Amino acid sequence: MGHEINIFNEELINDFMEFMIVERAYSHNTIVSYRTDLNQFVDYLIRDKHDCQLTTRINKVSNKEFKSFFEHISNLGYKNSTRARKIATLKSFFSYLHTEGLSEFDPTYAISSISRPFSLPGILKIEEIKKLLESPIEHSIGDIALRDFAILHLAYASGLRVSELVNLDIRDIDIESGSVRCVGKGSKERIVPVHKKAIDSIDNYLKLARPFLIKNHHTQSLFVNKFGKRMTRQGFWLMAKKHATINGFGKKFSPHTLRHSFASHLLEGGAPLRHVQELLGHASISTTQLYTHLNNQFVKEEYENAHPSAHKFIKTI
């Protein structure tokens, strides 16, 4: 190749980010993380080479320098999952440059990816779900109680991501058909059926609470805060966490606990994996299969807790 591409060219990195958004449908949070990872690598090269003029060029970045960088981030004590993402960022970036003809070779080709640790999302037992869903009526008052009652019921009935929940507008709820329309990752739209109790809770909220919460605001947001503005992800998290804590399971509660529980309970009840994949809006069924592993672990734990000889038996096999 007759010319060299400056790794520090912001336009080049922006082109890569656009590629990841458009072609790979990566989320905003992932893109932010990728940009942070690339900046960290650039900063490392500057310090390592004392190159304050930013003259390091793509054709001069070697496999040895990548290995040195990976040793560096390992020494910083990052979690395995974080190191895996940083490696994935750089491999994606330099593979992109090579594929686009912007570099003669991919210097990360010999760098092995780190296997991310297999982790199971937390779920609530059905008894705990019931306590959480009824908690707003018992521990909140007025319009806020009806709103929280409705959004928690919808979250568990639909399995929507928190961002999808709070971005819903009134037009996205079909009371008559009992369904909700949402736009998920990659701007993909899906229709999710919602059971009657959740629909009724939304109908009551729309008629009895929302008009008083929005006051003089003109908004199409389905769920609003006490100031009449769209409920935020942070607002939902604080509300849900509060009710989980009140009922004694706050420590194992996360923003997507209701989504995880929705998926797990459907599979536990015999729903086909493909159907659950569609409801969750997963692009790949391998992501949905995580919940089959979760159910296997759940069954094992229930067995160990319930069988009088479980501990003794398991130790001998």
Q: Is 205 helix (H, G, I), strand (E, B) or coil?
A: helix
Asked if the model's pLDDT at residue 88 lies above 70, the reply is yes
Q: Is 185 a catalytic residue?
A: yes
pLDDT at 306: 53
* Across 191-198, average pLDDT: 95
Catalytic: which of 185, 229, 233, 242?
185
CATH superfamily of domain region 126-252: Intergrase catalytic core (1.10.443.10)
Highest mean pLDDT among 70-74, 201-205, 264-268, 282-286: 201-205
Residues whose CB is less than 8 angstroms from the CB of residue 137 and which lie 6 or more positions away in sequence, other chains included: 145, 149
Asked if the model's pLDDT at residue 175 lies above 80, the reply is yes
Catalytic: which of 153, 210, 256, 260?
256
Asked if the model's pLDDT at residue 209 lies above 90, the reply is yes
Q: Is 282 a catalytic residue?
A: yes
- pTM greater than 0.75 (yes/no): no
Crossing angle of helices 257-268 and 233-246, in 10° steps, is 70
Q: Which residue has the higher pLDDT, 110 or 312?
A: 110
Pick the CATH number of 10-99 from 3.40.50, 2.40.50, 1.10.150, 2.40.128: 1.10.150
* Across 32-47, average pLDDT: 85
Residue at 58: amino acid letter: I
Asked if the model's pLDDT at residue 81 lies above 70, the reply is yes
DSSP labels, 228-289: SSBPPHHHHHHHHHHHHHHTT--TT--TTHHHHHHHHHHHHTT--HHHHHHHHT-SSHHHHT
Give the H/E segment covering residue 130. helix 126-139
Residue 171, number of CB atoms within 10 A of its CB: 9
pLDDT at 222: 98
pLDDT at 303: 47
Catalytic: which of 85, 91, 243, 259?
259
Catalytic: which of 26, 34, 156, 291?
291
pLDDT band at 4 (very low <50, low <70, confident <90, very high): very low
pLDDT tens for 223-239 read 999 999 999 988 999 99
pLDDT at 243: 96
Q: Please give the Cα distance from 234 to 254 (Å, whole number).
A: 12
Catalytic: which of 83, 98, 116, 282?
282
Q: Is 300 a catalytic residue?
A: no
Angstrom distances, CA of residue 249 to CA of 153, 246, 295, 298, 302: 18, 8, 19, 17, 17
Is there a common fold for 10-99 and 126-252?
no
pLDDT band at 50 (very low <50, low <70, confident <90, very high): low
Say if residues 36 and 89 touch (Cβ distance below 8 Å): no
At residue 70, φ and ψ (nearest 5 deg) are: -65, -35
Tokens of 18: 């656009």
Q: Is 161 a catalytic residue?
A: yes
The whole-chain average pLDDT of the chain stands at 81
Structure letter (DSSP) for residue 170: G
Asked if the model's pLDDT at residue 261 lies above 90, the reply is yes
Tokens of 236: 């939902």
Asked if the model's pLDDT at residue 46 lies above 80, the reply is no
Catalytic: which of 161, 230, 260, 265?
161
pLDDT band at 26 (very low <50, low <70, confident <90, very high): confident
Asked if the model's pLDDT at residue 5 lies above 50, the reply is no
Asked if the model's pLDDT at residue 314 lies above 50, the reply is no
Asked if the model's pLDDT at residue 128 lies above 90, the reply is yes
Domain positions in the chain are 10-99, 126-252
Which strand ranges, in their side-by-side order, compose the sheet holding 179-183? Answer: 173-174, 179-183, 189-193
Q: Taking phi first (over 0 means left), then psi (-120 to 50 degrees means alpha), and beta for anything else, what does residue 117 get?
A: beta
Q: Which residue has the higher pLDDT, 298 or 37?
A: 37
Q: Is 171 a catalytic residue?
A: no
pLDDT tens for 131-164 read 999 999 999 889 999 999 999 999 999 999 998 9
Q: Is 291 a catalytic residue?
A: yes
CA angle in degrees (0–180, nearest 5) for 268-168-256: 40
pLDDT at 49: 57
